[in-house]
């Protein structure tokens, strides 16, 4: 029998209000556009706790809305120990996020952690923190996330499709 595998992915940044909600929304949009909702579970979290319970930054909500993606219902949460058991892939937006995740994870789970851009495209690159910058930083971050998320989907699409079971 052919079964589709299910892959769970947690996108992680510092605050879970700017970059990782965008990555969650954009990757979810690509998954939906490809009719692959049965093969992917997508979530996001922050390494910090300052914004827990808050919706994404209005600048992330605005840039996503321009591209037809609704982030308004998301709420920030902090990475929890159980995430290292529950998610197959835990993708940090920048090197600091990856280092923090590595320090939080039990050693046997560290293999699930990678830098989002490096894992997705093969090229290590930080998705820069746009929080303290200008509005146009969000457009730049959106484009970077959109391109890498497309590569991520292509990479995982074949892996999750038609596994023998």
With beta carbons less than 8 A apart as the criterion, state whether 51 and 15 touch.
yes
What's the closest the beta carbon of residue 131 comes to ligand 4NP, in angstroms? 4
100 touching ligand 4NP, by CB under 6 A? no
Known catalytic residue at 19: yes
Would you say the C-alpha torsion 113, 114, 116, 119 has a positive or negative sign? negative
Enumerate residues 31-50 that contact ligand 4NP by CB under 6 A: 46, 50
Candidates 12-20, 25-33, 84-92, 144-152; binding stretch for ligand 4NP (CB under 6 A): 12-20
With beta carbons less than 8 A apart as the criterion, state whether 31 and 153 touch.
yes
13 touching ligand 4NP, by CB under 6 A? yes
Q: Give residues with Cβ within 8 angstroms of 66, minimum separation 6.
A: none
Cβ burial, residue 97 (10 Å; 0-12/13-18/19+) = buried
Question: Catalytic pick from 18, 19, 83, 94?
Answer: 19
What's the closest the beta carbon of residue 68 comes to ligand 4NP, in angstroms? 21
Known catalytic residue at 143: no
Among all chains, which residue has been given the structure tokens 């290590």?
A: 124
18 touching ligand 4NP, by CB under 6 A? yes
Enumerate residues 50-69 that contact ligand 4NP by CB under 6 A: 50
Which residues are at the interface with ligand 4NP (CB under 6 A)?
A: 13-19, 46, 50, 129, 131
As annotated, the active-site residues are 13, 19, 129
């Amino acid at each position: 029998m052919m079964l589709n595998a299910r892959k769970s992915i947690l996108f992680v940044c510092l605050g879970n209000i700017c970059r990782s909600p965008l990555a969650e929304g954009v990757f979810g949009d690509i998954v939906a556009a490809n009719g692959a909702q049965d093969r992917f579970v997508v979530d996001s979290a922050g390494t910090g706790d300052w914004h827990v319970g808050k919706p994404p930054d209005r600048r992330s909500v605005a840039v996503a809305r321009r591209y037809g993606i609704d982030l308004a219902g998301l709420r920030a949460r902090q990475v929890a120990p159980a995430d290292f058991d529950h998610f197959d892939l835990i993708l940090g937006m920048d090197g600091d996020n990856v280092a923090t995740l590595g320090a939080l994870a039990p050693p046997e789970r560290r293999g699930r952690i990678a830098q989002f851009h490096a894992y997705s495209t093969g090229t290590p690159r930080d998705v820069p923190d746009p929080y303290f910058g200008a509005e146009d930083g969000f457009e730049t971050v959106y484009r970077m996330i959109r391109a890498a998320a497309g590569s991520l989907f292509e990479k995982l699409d074949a892996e999750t499709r038609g596994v023998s079971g």
